[in-house]
């Protein structure tokens, strides 16, 4: 169903009111929550790294260490990093929880992430040709894209991308800017020079590699191989988890895509409308939501990227009611169901054709 | 033979001298220490993704010291008292890392209030002696009903045990001549809470050698902080003269007229210290310069940049970009990003609709209106989104 401008304006007013209801109440509760999360993350990371070395007592300690380190990395990337970099906690004026100062435990440089994710992806969500997160330039996920031979094996490409997800994310901006490969686009305005991009990419990547695969193994002495392997597994768990969560947010069966013409000079209401249709939620237990960094509420996250994420669950029923009122599809389901449709989508568009994605 | 020995000796002498110079020179030490700093920074970035390891451990430290802020010094709250019904004095004991102050200087005070750090500048109002003897300082602040920080301070003060403070800043301090040589006289002008740095200076003078006159402009005597102390000083110290101006009774201060009636006084031979609202300081300054007082004899203090909540459409924003100051006009209701661009600046930006946080920058002082929510910010330092903020008062912003 298409909404007219008047309806879109009314939609914007209602969604703004839901946001104001939360944002005017921010205070001690949210601050304590995120500080506690940060404390949990630090304790998991430190104890995980210590337990891995104690693997000589029993390998179970090593395994526990790996799980704790993976958990620390997931919390750091999802519930803390991603949300902090969106400016959700800027109002706290806290030096370690500020979007302009935060740097995370992942190969991707925070500055690069803020440009490609916060700006490009969140402003132009699911607009084909403007939101490079739709398929990451690697996967054909709708019939908006011409079929190419390489799409035939894109499920394998997807598995490789998931395994190396942190490197995919960190290389994303350089790929788009054609820093190393590809034809340069003459009309592209660069907000940052290629040399700065390279410096950030190699600098951050090298630090992360050095930490997990040189520094910690070295100080572990005879246990170096265990620590090295443990760090590798922890990074792998984090990569698979983050990739899976993110794919469930925008590539499920019923998400919509948009053309650039549809969104030219769009109103605030249309922007909201596009965010609801371009995202999908999945359900789960409270701790499950925390592990996804509340990206299980992708719709609410896209409507309110700067609202502290713990509130997405509380505003979700209101958002769903508003969506229903305006006849906008609210895409939600169990994690297993949503993920199954992602896999189906990747496989379906490996082959030519496929039905048009609604917009 | 002897010539060769001489030559060798000479070369040794040269080498020795070079070594001495290299090791003794600060430039070498500086290079070494800057290298050490860079190495430490890289190490900390590698290990913890933080410029300092302390930031990584902050969540653990906050376990039992929730007020602690890694960029500042902690200061414990000793006690507090009300100087007037609106002015609150807080006695602080800064941590040993705090390096002291010169009377007249100010500090940035940071408070953890309802989960967030809020900051404001305050002049230290106590004497140098109090710090020397008891390692304590006093800050005095007027509680403003619409002021975010002072309101929070007043409501938290009874349960407050700790604050964070910055190093002492500012060059609003007594010129050496006023304290020692006694060649010139000193004129101080305080309006309202502007008394705080001046009282710190006055109470720190150990050896009176030259006359000092203080013009203290307040609404009425009940609102005059430190009045009893000032009167006591005036009674005890013949070189000190206190002139209280109660604006409700006698109207506004006219500095030049008042000074003209003063016996044995040459206006051009004095040092002037002005502290109060920007408009008052500006007015006095202009008048004095008209009378032939050299500009470098006039010292004035205002926190940041004219901070009055301006009526009317046009505000001024003072933008600091890579060390240079640029003044721009910012109309009410116009996003600061747009105003800056129209006047030739190009701040970093992204979505321009308040979503992506690319244009976030540091507001040092002043109030902004959030164009999306209609909320007015506090006037302390904090980060703002340029694309959805408009000037609500005059501003100071760092790009």
**Closest-CA residue to B336 (of B373, B390, B384, B392):** B390
A185-189, A301-305, B280-284, B337-341: segment of lowest average pLDDT:
A185-189
What is the per-residue pLDDT for B282?
A: 85
Of B50, B117, B373, which has the smallest distance from its Cβ to A94's Cβ? B117
B181 and B161 in a single domain? The answer is no
Q: Is the pLDDT of residue B180 over 60?
A: no
Q: Is the pLDDT of residue B304 over 50?
A: no
What is the per-residue pLDDT for B306?
A: 44
Angle at A343 between CA A232 and CA A153, to 5 degrees: 80
B201 and B111 in a single domain? The answer is no
CA distance B93 to chain A (A): 23
Of A43, A95, A105, which has the smallest distance from its Cβ to B71's Cβ? A95
B10-14, B195-199, B327-331: segment of lowest average pLDDT:
B10-14
Taking CA–CA distances from B71, the nearest residue in chain A reads: A95
CA distance A94 to chain B (A): 6
CA A251, A254, A258, A263 dihedral sign is negative
* Optimal mutation site among B67, B110, B358, interface A, most CBs of chain A within 10 A: B358
Q: Is the pLDDT of residue B197 over 90?
A: yes
CB B111 within 8 A of CB B148: no
CA distance A29 to chain B (A): 8
Q: In this complex, do A38 and B116 lie within 8 Å of one another by their Cβ atoms? A: no
Q: In this complex, do A207 and B45 lie within 8 Å of one another by their Cβ atoms? A: yes
Q: Count how many Cα atoms sit within 13 Å of the Cα of residue A175 in the half-sphere of its side chain.
A: 13
Of A86, A90, A103, which has the smallest distance from its Cβ to B49's Cβ? A103
B277 and B200 in a single domain? The answer is yes
Q: Would you call A199 an interface residue with chain B, using a CB distance cutoff of 8 Å?
A: no
CA distance B70 to chain A (A): 8
Any idea which residue has 């237990």 for tokens? A285
Of A29, A39, A123, which has the smallest distance from its Cβ to B351's Cβ? A123
**Closest-CA residue to A238 (of A47, A74, A104):** A74
Token output for B305: 């940049």
Section B324-341 average pLDDT: 88
B48 and B149 in a single domain? The answer is no
Last residue of a domain, one of B146, B165, B184: B165
What is the per-residue pLDDT for A68?
A: 98
Q: Would you call B265 an interface residue with chain A, using a CB distance cutoff of 8 Å?
A: no
Band of residue B10 on the pLDDT scale cut at 50, 70, 90: low
Q: In this complex, do B383 and A100 lie within 8 Å of one another by their Cβ atoms? A: yes
Q: In this complex, do A31 and B116 lie within 8 Å of one another by their Cβ atoms? A: yes
What is the per-residue pLDDT for A51?
A: 97
Q: What is the CATH number of the domain that holds B130?
A: 2.40.30.10
Those of residues 15-74 in A touching chain B at CB distance below 8 A are 16, 20, 23-24, 26-32, 35, 38-39, 41-43
The Cα B350–Cα A190 span in angstroms is 12
Partners of residue A207 in chain B, C-beta under 8 Å: 42, 45-46, 49
CB B354 within 8 A of CB B372: yes
Question: Percentage of residues in chain B with pLDDT exceeding 90?
Answer: 38
pLDDT by 10-residue block (mean), chain A, 359 residues: 87 95 93 96 97 95 98 97 96 92 95 94 92 89 90 95 96 86 69 89 96 96 95 97 95 91 90 95 94 96 96 96 95 95 94 78
The Cα A137–Cα A121 span in angstroms is 13
CA distance B50 to chain A (A): 7
B69 and B51 in a single domain? The answer is no
Question: Percentage of residues in chain B with pLDDT exceeding 70?
Answer: 88
Q: Would you call A305 an interface residue with chain B, using a CB distance cutoff of 8 Å?
A: yes
Of A29, A42, A215, which has the smallest distance from its Cβ to B46's Cβ? A215
B31 and B111 in a single domain? The answer is no
B52 and B70 in a single domain? The answer is no
B218 and B161 in a single domain? The answer is no
* Optimal mutation site among B356, B374, B377, B382, interface A, most CBs of chain A within 10 A: B356
The answer as to whether B224 is a domain residue is yes
**Closest-CA residue to B278 (of B223, B321, B318):** B318
Partners of residue B63 in chain A, C-beta under 8 Å: 39
CA distance B148 to chain A (A): 13
Last residue of a domain, one of B102, B132, B165: B165
Partners of residue A122 in chain B, C-beta under 8 Å: 351, 355-356
B183 and B264 in a single domain? The answer is yes
CA distance A150 to chain B (A): 33
The answer as to whether B91 is a domain residue is yes
- If one counts every other C-beta atom within 10 angstroms of the C-beta of residue A60, the result is 11
Q: What is the CATH number of the domain that holds B214?
A: 3.40.50.80
B190 and B152 in a single domain? The answer is no
* Optimal mutation site among A19, A81, A92, A200, interface B, most CBs of chain B within 10 A: A92
Continuous segment of H or E residues that includes residue B369: strand B368-370
User: How many domains does chain B fold into?
Assistant: 4
The answer as to whether B33 is a domain residue is yes
Q: B113 - beta bridge partners?
A: B116
A198 or B5: which carries more pLDDT confidence? A198
Q: Can you give the residue range of the structural domain that contains B157?
A: 65-165
B129 and B237 in a single domain? The answer is no
DSSP string computed for A176-233: HTTSSSSPPPTTPPPSS-HHHHHHHHHHHHHHHHHIIIIIHHHHTGGGHHHHHHHHHH
Taking CA–CA distances from A266, the nearest residue in chain B reads: B353
The answer as to whether B380 is a domain residue is yes
Q: Would you call B115 an interface residue with chain A, using a CB distance cutoff of 8 Å?
A: yes
A25-29, B206-210, B313-317: segment of lowest average pLDDT:
B313-317
What is the per-residue pLDDT for B179?
A: 47
The answer as to whether B2 is a domain residue is no
ipTM of the complex in this document: 0.88
**Closest-CA residue to A35 (of A47, A24, A25, A27):** A27
A231-235, A272-276, B28-32, B297-301: segment of lowest average pLDDT:
B28-32
Partners of residue A215 in chain B, C-beta under 8 Å: 46-47
Of A27, A43, A103, which has the smallest distance from its Cβ to B114's Cβ? A27
Q: In this complex, do B373 and A91 lie within 8 Å of one another by their Cβ atoms? A: no
The Cα A257–Cα A345 span in angstroms is 14
Q: In this complex, do B355 and A118 lie within 8 Å of one another by their Cβ atoms? A: yes
| DSSP assigned state of B185 | E
CB B156 within 8 A of CB B111: yes
The answer as to whether B229 is a domain residue is yes
The answer as to whether B11 is a domain residue is no
The answer as to whether B389 is a domain residue is yes
Q: In this complex, do B356 and A211 lie within 8 Å of one another by their Cβ atoms? A: no
B47 and B74 in a single domain? The answer is no
B9 or A49: which carries more pLDDT confidence? A49
Any idea which residue has 């501003």 for tokens? B395
Average confidence score pLDDT of chain B = 85
User: CA gyration radius for chain B?
Assistant: 26
Of A23, A90, A118, which has the smallest distance from its Cβ to B356's Cβ? A118
Band of residue B307 on the pLDDT scale cut at 50, 70, 90: very low
Which residues lie closer than 8 Å to B217 by C-beta, 6 or more apart?
B189, B190, B191, B192, B245, B247, B252, B253, B276, B280
Partners of residue B382 in chain A, C-beta under 8 Å: 93
**Closest-CA residue to B337 (of B322, B357, B323):** B357
Those of residues 40-79 in B touching chain A at CB distance below 8 A are 42, 45-47, 49-50, 55-60, 62-63, 69-71
Q: Would you call A12 an interface residue with chain B, using a CB distance cutoff of 8 Å?
A: no
Band of residue B232 on the pLDDT scale cut at 50, 70, 90: very high
């Amino acid at each position: 169903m298409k909404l007219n401008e008047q309806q879109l304006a009314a939609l914007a007013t209602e969604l703004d009111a839901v946001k104001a209801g939360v944002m005017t109440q921010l205070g001690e509760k949210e601050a304590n929550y995120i500080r506690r999360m940060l404390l949990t993350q630090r304790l998991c990371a430190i104890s995980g790294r210590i337990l891995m070395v104690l693997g000589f007592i029993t390998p179970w300690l090593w395994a526990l260490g790996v799980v704790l380190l993976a958990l620390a990395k997931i919390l750091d990337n999802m519930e803390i990093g991603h949300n902090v970099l969106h400016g959700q906690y800027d109002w706290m004026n806290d030096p370690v929880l500020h979007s302009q100062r935060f740097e995370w435990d992942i190969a991707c440089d925070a500055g690069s992430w803020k440009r490609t994710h916060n700006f490009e992806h969140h402003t132009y969500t699911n607009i084909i040709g403007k939101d490079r997160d739709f398929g990451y330039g690697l996967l054909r996920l709708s019939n908006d894209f011409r079929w190419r031979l390489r799409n035939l094996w894109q499920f394998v490409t997807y598995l490789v991308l998931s395994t190396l997800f942190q490197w995919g994310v960190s290389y994303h901006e350089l790929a788009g800017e054609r820093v190393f490969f590809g034809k340069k686009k003459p009309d592209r305005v660069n907000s940052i020079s290629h040399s700065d991009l390279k410096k950030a990419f190699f600098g951050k990547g090298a630090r992360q590699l050095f930490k997990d695969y040189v520094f910690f193994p070295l100080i572990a002495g005879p246990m170096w191989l265990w620590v090295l392997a443990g760090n590798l597994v922890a990074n792998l768990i984090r990569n698979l988890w983050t990739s899976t969560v993110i794919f469930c947010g925008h590539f499920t069966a019923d998400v919509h895509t948009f053309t650039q013409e549809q969104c030219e000079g769009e109103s605030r209401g249309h922007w909201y409308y596009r965010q609801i249709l371009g995202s999908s939620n999945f359900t789960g237990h409270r701790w499950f939501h925390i592990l996804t960094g509340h990206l299980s509420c992708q719709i609410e996250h896209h409507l309110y990227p700067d609202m502290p994420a713990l509130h997405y669950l509380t505003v979700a029923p209101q958002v769903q009611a508003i969506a229903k009122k305006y006849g906008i599809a609210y895409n939600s389901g169990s994690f297993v169901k949503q993920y199954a449709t992602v896999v189906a989508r990747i496989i379906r568009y490996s082959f030519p054709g496929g039905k048009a994605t609604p917009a | 033979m002897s010539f060769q020995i001489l030559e060798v000796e000479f070369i040794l002498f040269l080498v020795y001298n070079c070594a001495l110079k290299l090791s003794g020179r600060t430039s070498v030490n500086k290079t070494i220490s800057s290298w050490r700093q860079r190495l430490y920074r890289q190490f900390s970035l590698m290990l913890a993704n933080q410029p300092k390891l302390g930031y990584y451990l902050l969540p653990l430290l906050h376990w039992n010291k929730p007020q602690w802020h890694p960029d500042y010094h902690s200061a414990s709250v000793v006690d507090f008292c009300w100087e007037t019904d609106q002015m609150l004095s807080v006695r602080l004991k800064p941590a040993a890392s705090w390096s002291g102050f010169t009377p007249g200087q100010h500090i940035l005070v940071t408070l953890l209030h309802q989960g967030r750090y809020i900051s404001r500048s305050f002049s230290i109002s106590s004497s140098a002696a109090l710090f020397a003897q008891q390692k304590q300082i006093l800050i005095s602040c007027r509680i403003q009903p619409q002021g975010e920080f002072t309101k929070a301070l007043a409501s938290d003060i009874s349960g407050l045990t700790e604050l964070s403070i910055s190093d002492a800043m500012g060059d609003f301090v007594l010129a050496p001549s006023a304290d020692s040589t006694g060649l010139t006289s000193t004129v101080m002008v305080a309006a309202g809470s502007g008394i705080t740095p001046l009282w710190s200076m006055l109470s720190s003078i150990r050896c009176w050698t030259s006359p000092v006159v203080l013009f203290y402009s307040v609404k009425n005597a009940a609102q005059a902080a430190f009045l009893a102390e000032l009167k006591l000083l005036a009674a005890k110290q013949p070189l000190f003269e206190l002139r209280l101006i109660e604006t409700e009774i006698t109207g506004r201060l006219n500095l030049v007229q008042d000074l003209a009636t003063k016996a044995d006084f040459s206006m051009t031979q004095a040092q002037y210290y002005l502290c109060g609202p920007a408009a008052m300081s500006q007015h006095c300054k202009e008048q004095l310069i008209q009378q032939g007082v050299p500009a470098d004899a006039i010292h004035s203090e205002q926190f940041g940049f004219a901070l009055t909540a301006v009526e009317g459409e046009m505000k001024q924003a003072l933008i600091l970009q890579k060390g240079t100051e640029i003044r721009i006009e910012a109309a009410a209701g116009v996003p600061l990003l747009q105003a800056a661009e129209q006047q030739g600046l190009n701040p970093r930006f992204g979505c321009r609709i308040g979503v992506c946080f690319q244009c976030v920058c540091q507001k040092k002082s002043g109030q902004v209106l959030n164009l999306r929510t209609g909320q007015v910010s506090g006037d302390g330092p904090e980060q703002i989104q340029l694309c959805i903020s408009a000037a609500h008062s005059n501003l100071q912003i760092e790009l």
